[in-house]
Amino acid sequence: MLRSPLHGPFRFMALDVETADRRRGSICQVGVAGVRNDGTLATWSTYLDPGPSDWSCSFVHGITAGTVRGAPRFDAVLPVLEALIGTRLVFQHSSFDKAAIAAACTVHGLDAPDWLWRDSLRVARRAWPELKGNGGHGLASLKRHLGLNFRHHDGEEDARAAAEIVLRAEQATGLDFAGAEFPPLAPAAATV
């Protein structure tokens, strides 16, 4: 059985996926970052075999059919993710990751997990409004603005970046973005 090396307890999680092609359910990598109460992070990722794919997104992340040969399928990885995330809050950077998880669940005939999702993009907009129209709040812009060090379009690295964005935003604003005053996102519709 696939296991995660992450050990908490964690205050909140961040998750990022990469897809093989334009179908949101074609997840070929998932990365998770756990943020402990003291602000330290632990990360984990795995490649996934998305099944038949045209690999049209390989130019973005460099993952190919050869990279995922022998990797588990999504239905084998979902229980690991569910054990990791449990009832904790999980951040994504934009709405793509939540929709991709829901779409992959649809493809595999699984119920989508009822995780409490929040969006680090929305957190960044609140913390650094001056970036609107001045580079924006995407990961690449925030990498420059905040001096973050990560390899963009890698699931584990992007998950860590999303977690760091939330932590930096909390430092900048004094707000608890993982707290109850910031409600979770509405459920995502599954788009295969």
> pLDDT per residue over 73-89, tens digit each?
999 999 999 999 988 99
Q: Which of 13-22, 33-42, 116-125, 142-151 has the lowest mean pLDDT?
A: 142-151
Q: What is the pLDDT of residue 185?
A: 58
Is residue 99 pLDDT above 80, yes or no? yes
Residue 183 pLDDT level (bands cut at 50, 70, 90): low
Q: What is the pLDDT of residue 134?
A: 84
Q: What is the pLDDT of residue 182?
A: 73
Secondary structure (DSSP) of 126-163: HH-GGGTTTT-SSHHHHHHHHT----TT-HHHHHHHHH
pLDDT in tens, 5-54: 788 899 999 999 999 999 999 999 999 999 999 999 999 999 999 999 99
30: β partners: 17, 46
Strand order in the sheet with 89-92: 41-47, 27-36, 10-19, 89-92, 116-119
Q: What is the pLDDT of residue 105?
A: 98
* pTM (global) more than 0.85: yes
Distance between CA atoms of residues 104 and 62, nearest Å: 20
